[in-house]
Every structure is written in C-alpha cells, then in structure tokens.
C-alpha cells in the first residue's frame, strides 16, 4: 500500500512539474509575440517616391472614372495594356490600334451621355436614346408618359463634351498609353503631361457638380424612382 501511495504521489509531482513547464513556455511565447510583431512592423519596407506617385495617379483615375460610363472605362482599362504591349508599342499596328481604342472609347463616352432609363409599370428598367421628341426605347417598348422630361437638351451636349475631356484626362494618366504615344518626352512635356490632365479633371468635376445631369443612361447609376 505504501509503495502504491508513493508511486501516486510521484506521478502527481511529475504532472505538476509538466504543467508548470508548459505554463512557463506559454508565458514566454506570449511575451515574445509582441516583440515579433514589433520586428515585423519595423521591417516593413517604406514606399518609394515613384510608388507614391503611381498610387496617387490610380486614385485620381478612379475618381475621374466615376464621371464616365463604366463600360467604356472598363473596356479601356482592360484593352489598354494588351494593345500597347504594356506601353512598348512594338509596331505601327500597335500604335494605330491604340489611337483607334482611344477614339472608340471617347465616342462611346460621348454617345452614352444621350442615353437614359426609366422604370415601367412592372418596375423593370428600360433604356432609351434621348431625342428632341422624347425618349426612343431601344427594345421597342412603349415610352414613358412624361415626354418633356426625357427630351434632348443643351445640357446633354455640354455633359457629352465634358465626358470626352474627362476621358482624355483618364487616358493621359494611363502610363501604357503615354509610353506608346509619347515614349521620350522632354522635361517641359513631362510637367505638362503631369499637370494638365489633373487641371482638366478638376475643372470638369467642378462643372459636373455645378451643372448636374438628371439622366441615368447606360453605364451610369440607375434611378430609384
């Protein structure tokens, strides 16, 4: 009996020592975790000046893109690096295709400013083209009752012209397009290319705010009413 009691006491002592060892190791690991986090934060590489400029450029492009039809901007952003070979433009075909892409996207931005949408009696969204007589529905369904609201106005041409300017600013911020069309600009040209699109974008954004559009065409946010 005494030997069994001694063996039980020895096993209990061994278990308590193991628990104490585990608790010590756990506490040491808990103390080491903040130190590792501090080291990771300290070792985080800082961004270079070029990376900061690129990041700001993408932010400005994103803000300006909100003023344009989403489909035109998306097509330009997808096709631009492919057609230009990431700014290399190895042949005259690539150069010509880049100009064609810019022209098509600019015309698309201009044309889509004359589109509008409304919800019919069933709540389904219908798209149409604004004319001087009202809204011409693309799918051939009946037009809305309020014809005067959807007639073509001077402000529509104004917004279409601003959309082309904003798209030109977005294209000027695209490094692939600029490297293709203007591979080796001078110092003065670099300053102009860096400042002019920003100025055009700010002015156009201000004019869009002062003279807002009431249309909700293709590629623009839909009306809730």
Write down the domain spans for the chain: 1-41, 49-114+152-210
pLDDT digits (tens, 9 = 90+) for 16-26: 555 445 454 44
Q: Residue holding tokens 């070029």?
A: 50
Is 11 in contact with 5 (CB distance < 8 Å)? Answer: no
**Distances in Å between the alpha carbon of 177 and those of 59, 73, 89, 215?**
18, 14, 9, 31
Is 201 in contact with 172 (CB distance < 8 Å)? Answer: no
Is 61 in contact with 170 (CB distance < 8 Å)? Answer: yes
Distance from the Cα of residue 8 to its chain's centroid: 70
Is 130 in contact with 146 (CB distance < 8 Å)? Answer: no
Residue 63: strand, helix, or coil: helix
Highest mean pLDDT among 32-36, 37-41, 157-161, 165-169: 157-161
Calculate mean pLDDT across residues 116-125: 82
pLDDT digits (tens, 9 = 90+) for 156-186: 999 999 989 888 888 888 888 888 888 888 8
Q: How confident is the model at residue 54 (pLDDT cuts 50, 70, 90)?
A: very low
DSSP codes, 138-198: TT--PPPS-TGGGS--HHHHHHHHHHHHHHHHHHHH-HHHHHHH-SS--HHHHHHHHHHHH
Q: How confident is the model at residue 134 (pLDDT cuts 50, 70, 90)?
A: confident
Q: What's phi and psi for 47, nearest 5 deg?
A: -75, 145
What pLDDT is recorded for position 207? 87
User: Is a pLDDT exceeding 60 seen at residue 121?
Assistant: yes
Q: How confident is the model at residue 107 (pLDDT cuts 50, 70, 90)?
A: very high
User: Is a pLDDT exceeding 90 seen at residue 100?
Assistant: yes
What pLDDT is recorded for position 41? 44
What pLDDT is recorded for position 103? 94
Return d(Cα 137, Cα 72) in angstroms, integer: 21
Q: What percent of the chain shows pLDDT beyond 70?
A: 68
């Amino acid at each position: 009996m005494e030997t069994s009691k001694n063996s039980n006491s020895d096993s209990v002592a061994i278990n308590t020592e193991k628990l104490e060892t585990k608790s010590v190791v756990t506490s040491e690991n808990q103390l080491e975790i903040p130190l590792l986090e501090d080291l990771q934060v300290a070792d985080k590489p800082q961004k270079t000046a070029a990376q900061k400029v690129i990041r700001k450029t993408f932010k400005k492009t994103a803000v300006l893109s909100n003023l344009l039809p989403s489909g035109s901007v998306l097509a330009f952003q997808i096709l631009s690096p492919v057609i230009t070979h990431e700014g290399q433009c190895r042949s005259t075909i690539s150069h010509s295709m880049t100009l064609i892409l810019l022209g098509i996207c600019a015309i698309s931005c201009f044309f889509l400013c004359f589109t509008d949408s409304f919800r019919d009696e069933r709540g389904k969204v219908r798209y149409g083209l604004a004319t001087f007589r009202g809204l011409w529905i693309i799918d051939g369904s009946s037009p809305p009752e309020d014809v005067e609201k959807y007639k073509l106005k001077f402000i529509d041409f104004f917004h279409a012209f601003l959309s082309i300017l904003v798209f030109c600013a977005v294209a000027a911020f695209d490094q692939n397009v600029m490297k293709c069309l203007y591979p080796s600009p001078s110092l003065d040209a670099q300053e102009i290319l860096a400042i002019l699109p920003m100025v055009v974008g700010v002015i156009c954004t201000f004019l869009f705010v002062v003279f807002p559009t009431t249309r909700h065409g293709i590629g623009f946010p839909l009306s809730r009413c």
